[in-house]
């Protein structure tokens, strides 16, 4: 159960090797939640599980492949049958190479499959668990890139825009079933996914995103920006006319 102060007893991390997911589990360490790491088998998952275990978490690992949507219903049902899923983090995604993403058919389709189709697929499965449980929070890791899609990474941005819209809508649908959806829109996050790329203004760390998630779950929020200032910036950018927007160095 999620307790009165918004602290979960069990976490499902879909994209269990994501730095933000692991930082979020650690941010809840004092509640000692049980953690299920859903990720592709391999050394990254083994390392993540071993690290959490050594920090006192009880950890299960399950095989998860975002593109294999056929496998999602059975997988999520299996996890939910062991214990309630109090908080599920949908935190998998690929960034890809921006130029390859729109010029290479396979790369574009893969981005769309992982970031959008995969997210929708687990979202629907999680929603059915939440309805059955009568409670539960789904945290969807979106991005400011989805708020106004830019030329510089529009394939990625469009997948995030799609998943963002889906989860906001899912939150409305689950409200009457006792569930919550928290959509998180971080700006540039310093992680291995963005390693080697120049940091954008207002960049944040995985720990800062984790902190915002923990607070958002406790407050029952449905949308948070990280950093909070990004909300103002993006709502300004969103209304910039297209011809002008085109010229901005974004």
Partner 1 sequence: MSERRQFQGWGRTAPVMATAVTGTAGEVGDLLRSAGPRGLIARGLGRSYGDAAQNSGGEVLLPIEGQPRLVGDRVVAAAGTSLHDLIRFLLPHGRFLPVTPGTRYVSVGGAIACDVHGKSHHVTGTFGAHVDSFDLVTPDGTTRTVTAEGEPELFWATVGGMGLTGVVTSATLRTIAVESGWVDVTTDRFEDLHSLMAAMREGDDAWTYSVAWVDTLSRGRSGAGPGRSVLTRGEHAARAALDARRSGTPYPLPGDPRLGAPRGLPSGLVSPLSVRAFNELWFRKAPRHRSGELQTLATFFHPLDGVADWNRLYGPAGFVQYQLVVPDEAGDVVRDAVATLAASGHASFLAVLKRFGPANAGLLSFPMAGWTLALDLPARPGLGRLLDRLDDAVVEAGGRIYLAKDSRLRADRFAAMYPRREEFARVRDRVDPGRVLSSDLARRLDL
As annotated, the active-site residues are 156
Q: Which of 176, 195, 196, 242 binds partner 1 (CB under 8 A)?
A: 176
- CB-CB contact of 171 with 180 (8 Å): yes
Contact between 134 and partner 1 (CB under 8 A)? yes
CB of 77 to partner 1, least distance (A): 13
- Nearer to partner 1 among residue 13 and residue 217 (C-beta): 217
DSSP conformation class of 2: -
CB of 203 to partner 1, least distance (A): 24
Sequential DSSP letters for 72-139: HHHHHHHHHHHS---EEEE-------HHHHHH-HHHHHHHIIIIIIIHHHHHHHHHHHHHHHT--EEE
CB of 226 to partner 1, least distance (A): 16
Contact between 172 and partner 1 (CB under 8 A)? no
Contact between 190 and partner 1 (CB under 8 A)? no
Q: Which residues contact 245 (CB under 8 A, 6 or more apart)?
A: 148, 150, 237
Contact between 4 and partner 1 (CB under 8 A)? yes
Peptide bond into 227 cis (omega under 30): yes
Contact between 178 and partner 1 (CB under 8 A)? yes
Binding region for partner 1 (CB under 8 A): 1-7, 9, 30-32, 84, 132-135, 176-178, 215, 218-219
């Amino acid at each position: 159960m999620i307790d009165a102060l918004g602290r979960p007893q069990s976490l499902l991390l879909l994209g269990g090797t994501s730095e933000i997911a692991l930082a979020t589990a650690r941010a809840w360490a004092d509640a000692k939640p049980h953690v299920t790491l859903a990720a592709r088998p391999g050394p990254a998952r083994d390392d993540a599980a071993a690290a959490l275990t050594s920090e006192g978490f009880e950890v299960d690992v399950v095989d998860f492949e975002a593109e294999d949507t056929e496998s999602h219903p059975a997988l999520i049902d299996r996890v939910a049958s062991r214990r309630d899923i109090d908080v599920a983090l949908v935190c998998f995604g690929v960034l890809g190479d921006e130029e390859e993403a729109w010029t290479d058919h396979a790369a574009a389709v893969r981005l769309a499959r992982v970031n959008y189709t995969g997210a929708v697929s687990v979202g629907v499965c999680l929603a059915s668990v939440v309805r059955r449980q009568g409670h539960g929070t789904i945290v969807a890791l979106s991005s400011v890139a989805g708020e106004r899609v830019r030329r510089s990474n529009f394939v990625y941005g469009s997948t995030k825009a799609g998943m963002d819209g889906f989860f906001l809508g899912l939150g409305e649908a689950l409200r009457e079933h006792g569930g919550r959806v928290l959509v998180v829109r971080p700006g540039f996050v310093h992680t291995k996914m963005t390693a080697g790329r120049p940091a954008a203004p207002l960049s944040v760390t995985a720990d800062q995103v984790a902190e915002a998630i923990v607070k958002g779950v406790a407050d029952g929020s449905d949308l948070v920006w990280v950093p909070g200032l990004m909300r103002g910036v993006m709502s300004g950018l969103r209304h910039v006319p297209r011809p002008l927007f085109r010229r901005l160095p974004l």
